[in-house]
A = this chain, B = another copy of it.
Amino acid sequence: MKDYSNMSKDELIQQKNKLKEQYNKYLLEKIDLNMSRGKPCKEQLNLSNQLLNINEYVSKDNIDLRNYGILDGIDEAKELFSDILNIDKNNIIIGGNSTLNMIYDVITRLYIFGYKDNIPWGRLNKVKFLCPVPGYDRHFDILDKFGFEMINIPITKDGIDMDMVEKLCKEEEYIKGIICVPLYSNPTGTCYSKQTVERLAKMETKAKDFKIFWDNAYAIHYVYKKVELYDIFKACKKYNTQDRILYFFSTSKINFPGGGVAILAGSDNTIEDTKTHLSYQTIGYDKINQLKTVKFLKNKENTLKLMDKHAQILKPKFDIVLNMLEKNFKDNPILKWEQPLGGYFVSVDTMEGLAKNVVSMCKELGVILTQAGATYPKRFDPKDTNIRLAPSFPTPEELKKAMEIFCICVKIATIDKMLA
């Protein structure tokens, strides 16, 4: 088959008419499919149903977890996450059910109270944040809400454009942080290399209270290949920069998104500072749920076995998406995509100025994709190319249909652009 760039105008019109026929056929089907969010599917949730039957409430230290107390989480939960993430248990705080909420809280504290002796961010004329793009919409939304200026940092094969990051951090004191998903990144699936992690640890920052928000949301969420993330704590200890780490993780995509357990890890100073603030905010998070999580996941080995089962459910879905992209666009390179090794997404890029059109055409046919632009700060993708595909939630059959529709819409939008 010829690719579009080698077609004459007439051939493109002919091609479009064929595609329009298929489009109109789907229009009549009144489809209702949602692949907008990284939601686990029912089969994945079923893997953890045994968690619901755990009814224990006494900690290993014989503490009655039904009652008040234990601000920073039960010891066995710290041990579990220490095992899974290879972080000292004393550097872990167990929170509620949402890392997003923990990230929001940390930013709130830095904004109102500041880190140790530094000026609270809310009292500065401006605060700037580095935002690897494409990235996670909810991260950017929080930063935007606080009025932080967001600077796009391109995602690279090895992580992020570290030359740019180093230069900016060294020069600008108002750059207070960077927010990263370092493994199987949302949406590109990017895994930060050892060198990237080391450069983040080593780099000079003009801001003394510079923070790396290390949202390791997909730490063990491989689909095709287990990738080991280089230990940022180890890297930072080498350069005595461990106070810049704010490390987040949760079980939302391990057991239940609606009732998981989230954690914050940091340096001794960070943990001490955080606990002081936290003691005003709550008497303690839900410790019964913490215990259930521990009793269910048990240890790293058992947790990884569970992640294998997740991968077995997710892989055929990722295969569908990637095979459809390959089939439709390998020889007709009007769409580029990333080949993720894990995580929850496939990131694609249309030709310039088409992403919004494609998403809106898909919507007309009943296929809801993540809003175009959402993977960029202020939901503004300067080139209007990036679309995040989320294969986890639909059934394989739904996914096939959704991808057929998606491919048709990409092609029509592209031909329209070429004919314009």
Contacts and interface: CB of A to CB of B under 8 A. Distances in A.
A394 interface: no
Contacts of A258: 65-70, 284, 286-288
B98 A282 contact: yes
A42 B55 contact: no
Contacts of A283: 98, 100, 138, 257
B67 A256 contact: yes
B112 A289 contact: no
Interface stretch (A141-149, A166-174, A240-248, A404-412): A141-149
Contact of A101 (B57, B122, B252, B282): B282
Given A112-B108, A112-B111, A286 B52 contact: no
Interface string A63-80: 011111110000000000
A47 to B, nearest CB: 11
A200 B49 CA distance: 49
Given A112-B146, A280-B145, A289 B101 contact: no
- How many copies of this chain are found per oligomer? 2
A151 interface: no
B289 A259 contact: yes
Which size class do A's interface residues fall under?
35 or more
A218 to B, nearest CB: 15
A69 B259 CA distance: 11
A342 interface: no
A108 B280 CA distance: 12
A104 interface: yes
A112 B111 CA distance: 8
Given A65-B258, A100-B281, 10 more contacts: A48-B66, A52-B56, A68-B252, A98-B285, A101-B282, A104-B280, A104-B281, A108-B108, A259-B288, A289-B289
A70 to B, nearest CB: 8
A89 interface: no
A353 to B, nearest CB: 29
A39 interface: yes
B40 A67 contact: yes
| Leading 6 A-B pairs by shortest Cβ distance | A52-B55, A259-B288, A66-B256, A68-B257, A101-B282, A104-B281
A53 interface: yes
Contacts of A66: 45, 48, 256-259
Interface string A245-288: 00000001000111100000000000000000000111111111
Interface of A: 37, 39-40, 42, 45, 48-49, 52-53, 55-57, 64-70, 96-98, 100-101, 104, 108, 111-112, 122, 138, 141-142, 145-146, 252, 256-259, 280-289
Interface centre among A67, A69, A141, A257 (most CB of B within 10 A): A67
Nearest to A57: B52
A108 B112 CA distance: 8
30 contacts: A37-B68, A39-B67, A45-B67, A48-B66, A49-B55, A52-B55, A52-B288, A53-B55, A57-B256, A65-B258, A66-B256, A66-B258, A66-B259, A96-B96, A98-B282, A98-B283, A98-B284, A104-B282, A108-B108, A112-B112, A112-B122, A112-B146, A142-B280, A256-B288, A258-B287, A258-B288, A259-B286, A259-B287, A286-B286, A286-B289
Given A55-B52, A68-B257, A97 B40 contact: no
Contacts of A104: 280-282
Contacts of A97: 96, 285-286
A49 to B, nearest CB: 8
In this complex, the member of A37, A45, A66, A142 whose beta carbon has the largest number of chain B beta carbons within 10 angstroms is A66
Nearest to A257: B68
Nearest to A109: B108
